[in-house]
Amino acid sequence: GNSVTQMEGPVTLSEEAFLTINCTYTATGYPSLFWYVQYPGEGLQLLLKATKADDKGSNKGFEATYRKETTSFHLEKGSVQVSDSAVYFCALMGYGNKLVFGAGTILRVKS
Amino acid sequence: GAGVSQSPRYKVAKRGQDVALRCDPISGHVSLFWYQQALGQGPEFLTYFQNEAQLDKSGLPSDRFFAERPEGSVSTLKIQRTQQEDSAVYLCASSPLWGGGEQYFGPGTRLTVT
């Protein structure tokens, strides 16, 4: 079945550091890929998405590129801020509209 | 406009009790989803409605779990004879589309079974 694997956390960075959170997937067909973010005390929010190979999703300085050849959708940001501290979830949507999530990666940014 | 709302936000139940969790989706959203999120894990799919039709209930862990959306708007997830392993956050999401597209999540209901 479909599955998502993302790097374990927590990831601890200093402000303005470069961020990468790795995500790989297993799926039949051509899924859509998503990054969701959960800030402390808040619900899940869509951060960015890509619906086909080589698409790049971007939002709030975050980017991720749909790489079919490596089945990956790594999240990157050039310069993180303390306010980016949150839990980040990689997810895919295949046939049937349901989201399949990774386990989540905690990001902590220190000032 | 208003987002997805869920009630109650917190629920403590003794083992063996029945519970009912409510989801109010964004007005006009066709699709509604329920997910279960165990502590430290990602959400896992439970069930999916398009309007009042339950199209997929493959993720419901046992026949103690039941979901309904009788008028195609508000949905209720019911858990009968709760067990400790049912302790989790239950998330509801809605989408304006018949298929695919962004899902908008509610804040969740944290269920603790003692």
What is the pLDDT at residue A37? 97
What would the pLDDT profile of A40-89 be if each residue is shown by its tens digit? 888 899 999 999 999 999 999 999 999 999 999 999 999 999 999 999 99
Is B45–A99 a contact, with Cβ atoms under 8 angstroms apart?
Answer: yes
Closest residue in chain B to residue A90, using alpha carbons only: B42
Is B42–A101 a contact, with Cβ atoms under 8 angstroms apart?
Answer: yes
What is the pLDDT at residue B108? 96
What would the pLDDT profile of A5-48 be if each residue is shown by its tens digit? 998 889 999 999 999 999 999 998 889 999 999 998 888 999 99
DSSP codes joined into one string, B72-85? SS-EEEEESS--GG
Is A91–B99 a contact, with Cβ atoms under 8 angstroms apart?
Answer: no
What would the pLDDT profile of B55-72 be if each residue is shown by its tens digit? 999 999 999 999 999 999
Closest CA to A76 of A7, A28, A3, A30: A7
In angstroms, the separation between the Cα of residue B114 and the nearest Cα of chain A is: 23
Residue A98, chain B, CB below 8 Å: the answer is: yes
